[in-house]
Amino acid sequence: MSDLLKKKCEPCEGKVMPFDISEIHKYQKKVDGWNIIKNDKEAYLLEKNFKFKDFKNSQDFVNQVGIISEIEGHHPDIYFGWGYAKINITTHAIEGLSENDFILAAKIDQIFSD
């Protein structure tokens, strides 16, 4: 994961191909506990559920994720409530996964572990 933490998300405007499943699995080994799922358009995305002791801790985490997402210029879909947060990450411009998604996942994991 540490090599991903050193990288910065690169702007993606749809000019690259999404990772194929073998590349996805290679990168999945670099992040902890992120599931690979498909959305309703059959595009791959990363998904992870986080647990917290109460609403305030969930909200604080989500706020920190928002800050790092703005810094990276890469924005996940976030669902949260009392004691939980669920995060989905994909590169919408290419309708699939790219290195940016795994960089953001690694940085989110770092927030959670701090």
Answer yes or no: are the C-beta atoms of 97 and 91 closer than 8 Å.
yes
Angle value at C-alpha 16, between 95 and 76, nearest 5 degrees: 40
Mean pLDDT of 44-54: 97
pLDDT in tens, 70-88: 999 999 999 999 999 999 9
68 backbone dihedrals φ, ψ, rounded to 5°: -65, -35
Contact by Cβ (8 Å): 68, 36: no
Homologous superfamily of the 18-93+104-113 domain (CATH): Transcriptional coactivator/pterin dehydratase (3.30.1360.20)
Q: In whole numbers, what is the pLDDT of the chain averaged over residues?
A: 92
- 87-106 pLDDT tens trace: 999 998 899 999 999 999 99
Chain-centre distance for alpha carbon 81: 18
Q: What is the pLDDT of residues 10-40, one digit of tens each?
A: 887 767 889 999 999 999 999 999 999 998 8
Domain coordinates in residue numbering, the chain: 18-93+104-113
Kind of pairing between the strands at 77-81 and 84-89:
antiparallel
